[in-house]
Amino acid sequence: MDRPLYERIAAEIRHQIASGRLPVGAALPSESQLCEQWGASRGPVRQALAALRAEGIIGGGQGKPPVVRSQAVTQPFETFLSFSRWAHDLGRTPGQRTLEIARRPASPEAAEALRVSEGEPVVELLRLRSLDGTPAMIERTTFIWSVGRLLFDHDCDSGSIFAFLSGQGVDLARGRHVFDAVNADATDSELLEIPPGAALLRERRHTSTTAGEPLEYSDDRYRPDIVSFTIENSQQAARPALLRTQGLVS
Amino acid sequence: MDRPLYERIAAEIRHQIASGRLPVGAALPSESQLCEQWGASRGPVRQALAALRAEGIIGGGQGKPPVVRSQAVTQPFETFLSFSRWAHDLGRTPGQRTLEIARRPASPEAAEALRVSEGEPVVELLRLRSLDGTPAMIERTTFIWSVGRLLFDHDCDSGSIFAFLSGQGVDLARGRHVFDAVNADATDSELLEIPPGAALLRERRHTSTTAGEPLEYSDDRYRPDIVSFTIENSQQAARPALLRTQGLVS
DNA sequence: GCACCGTACTTGTCATGATAAGTTCTCTCG
DNA sequence: CGAGAGAACTTATCATGACAAGTACGGTGC
């Protein structure tokens, strides 16, 4: 038990929520009560609560004791991370063609993004994803070696890589996605069957473990007439719901 | 200046990173130096650094001063509805130039989106938004008459329309945002000072009351080198957090 | 030249205490 | 009985101080 105190407190509360001892909607013990229970000062207690708040599993505000929010649902995360799963839920048929899988020394950008030393081996993957046979997205992914090496023993055209890696015990827990737009280059336009220079929706994805260690990053380019992204929000909900949506042909 | 100290510290550091005074890879001042600069104790300083770390824009570890990871800057979700507020929290100066505000009969599309009869009066607004003087976004908004009419009595160049309307008691509660990409047309390229055909990030926004009655819809086009959008999610969190980020000049 | 080691500096963790500000409840007054 | 004042609670923010643990760097001995 040499983990920091605030981590142990957070873990204990998480456990109580997961086990149902703290049902959804219930108020947590106040900070001072937690301090007594653990014989700790408010510092670690607040740090633990802040971590739980960042994970979205508790809510509350000034003056009000924190309350248990809805149970953790992994669905949205998986749906968002996995193109295959998303397409499947939509009733469409996902397709994938792996154009290249290679072991390479990490480029400076890859080394930065994956926090490895430059020149360390990484695995680069180039895939064309489609919906009902129509090219929809180009995926340029770079994995750290310990994860990417698993892909050489896997038929990448058979289905979801995310599902495969999860099954192999890879801790794909957190994701960061940056969206912007780019003009299609020669490769993009040829593979996606669009004119050169057409605007593409780009998602740059960084996936890491629970502890925040990078596992992969990706540059995904979507045909905007096939795929778009939707956010729904309301002033009540603290966090918005993200959905990947089928592009509108407007 | 009644914002908490740690927010001001974080905003200042974000600003220094965004302005290039702290280039990518540079080491931040040590905690004790920041304490001196701000005349603060380590508490607020650490809270500010923790926030920046959570946003992923700084890295580093025990014993090592934090380093600037990238120029991406993020803001909490509440600022999503308001460009002005987002920019302000970032320590940047938002600008707006209203190019046109007009009362018009609703077009078929407007009637459909706002659920009014075709030909009913609506208010159309065309604004150019900027960050530190650089054109960043073009906003083409259509309001229902009862809301848009308030804008004729308001200096639209003075600040946030969202804040103004909220202050007038307008119930801007729910939003739906669809993201895709488009090529810049002649107007876009001229106003945003980019080449014709450049890829733009488009956000189509529909805002409605708590009851779901449409209030406005908008076609916003962002320069991807100035503004991008970020989603953070984790397997624990039920819903991902949406953040608007400053574009990477990569 | 090179490995080893100790020192100075850094961040990580935690305790204690204080004030401000928000919420909830009760109690009083009309 | 309802509205409002107020007390008692909560969390939010910040200061100060302490120790542990990791890193960077220079010097020392081989």
Q: Do B185 and B171 meet the contact criterion of CB atoms below 8 Å apart?
A: no
- Average confidence (pLDDT) over B23-34: 84
- Which residue from A minimizes the CA distance to B74? A178
Query: From CA A72, how far away is CA A67, in angstroms rounded?
Result: 14
Enter the CATH code of domain B77-246: 3.40.1410.10
Structural domain boundaries in chain B: 5-68, 77-246
Which of B67-71, B94-98, B177-181 bottoms out in mean pLDDT, i.e. has the lowest?
Answer: B67-71
pLDDT at B90: 67
Closest residue of B to A185, CA-based? Answer: B199
Structure tokens at B90: 């970032």
Amino acid at B74: T
* pLDDT confidence band for A78 (50 / 70 / 90): low
Tell me the one-letter amino acid at A41.
S
> Which of helix, strand or coil describes residue A55?
helix
Q: Which two structure tokens, joined as six digits, stand for B140?
A: 């083409």
pLDDT for residue B209: 79
The first and second tokens of residue B210, run together, are 């708590």
User: Is the pLDDT at A130 greater than 80, yes or no?
Assistant: yes
Structure tokens at A90: 């939509």
pLDDT at B236 (0 to 100)? 47
**Burial grade of A215 (CB within 10 A; 0-12, 13-18, 19 or more):** buried
Cα–Cα distance for residue pair B50/B54, rounded to 1 Å: 6
pLDDT for residue A248: 43
Does the CB of A186 have a partner CB in chain B at under 8 Å? no
- Alpha-carbon span B230 to B77, nearest angstrom: 10
**A50 Cβ contacts chain C strand, under 7 Å:** no
| Share of chain A residues as helix, strand and coil, in percent rounded to the nearest 5 | 30, 35, 35
First to last CA, chain A: 59
Instruction: Quote the CA–CA distance of B58 and A80 in Å, as a whole number.
Output: 25
Neighbours of B47 (CB within 10 A): 17
Q: Is the CB of B59 under 7 A from strand D?
A: no
Q: CB of A64 under 7 A from strand D?
A: yes
Q: Is A230 on the interface with B (CB under 8 A)?
A: yes
Give me the pLDDT at residue B246, please.
Answer: 43
CATH class of A5-68: mainly alpha
Q: Which residue has the higher pLDDT, A237 or A43?
A: A43
- β-partners of residue B228 are B245
3-state secondary structure of A156: coil
Residues 57..86 of A with a Cβ closer than 8 Å to B: which?
57, 69-74, 76-77, 80
> Residue B78's pLDDT is what?
42
Asked if A239 contacts B237 with a C-beta cutoff of 8 angstroms, the reply is: yes
Q: Which residues pair with A98 in a beta bridge?
A: A127
Q: Which residue has the tokens 């596992």?
A: A215
Lookup result for tokens 């979205």: A56
Radius of gyration of the CA atoms of chain A, in A: 21
Q: What share of chain B is helix, strand, coil (3-state, %, to 5)?
A: 30, 35, 35
Quick check: A247 and B54 CB within 8 A? no
Q: How far is CA A89 from the centre of its chain?
A: 18
- The model scores a pTM over 0.75: no
Take residue B227 and report the two structure tokens written for it. Answer: 């503004």
| B102 and chain A in contact, CB less than 8 A | no
Q: Which of A173, A235, A247 sits opposite B234 (nearest CB)?
A: A173
The minimal CB distance from B233 to the residues A175, A182, A232 is found for A175
Best mutation target among B109, B180, B226, B242 (most A Cβ atoms within 10 Å) is B180
Residues 6+ apart with CB under 8 A from B64: none
CA distance A231 to chain B (A): 5
Contact, B127 vs B98, CB < 8 A?
Answer: yes
d(Cα A176, Cα A195) in Å, to the nearest integer?
Answer: 30
Tell me the CATH number for domain A75-246: 3.40.1410.10
Chain A partners of B196 at a C-beta cutoff of 8 Å?
A: none
Q: Which amino acid is at A138?
A: I
Amino acid at residue number A86: W
Please enumerate, as own/partner, the contacts of A1-4 that have beta carbons within 8 Å and a separation of 24 or more: A4/A44
Q: Does A239 touch chain B (CB under 8 A)?
A: yes
Residue type, A46: R
User: What's the pLDDT tens digit per position in A145-168?
Assistant: 889 999 988 887 887 888 888 888
**A159 CB burial (10 A radius; 0-12, 13-18, 19+):** middle
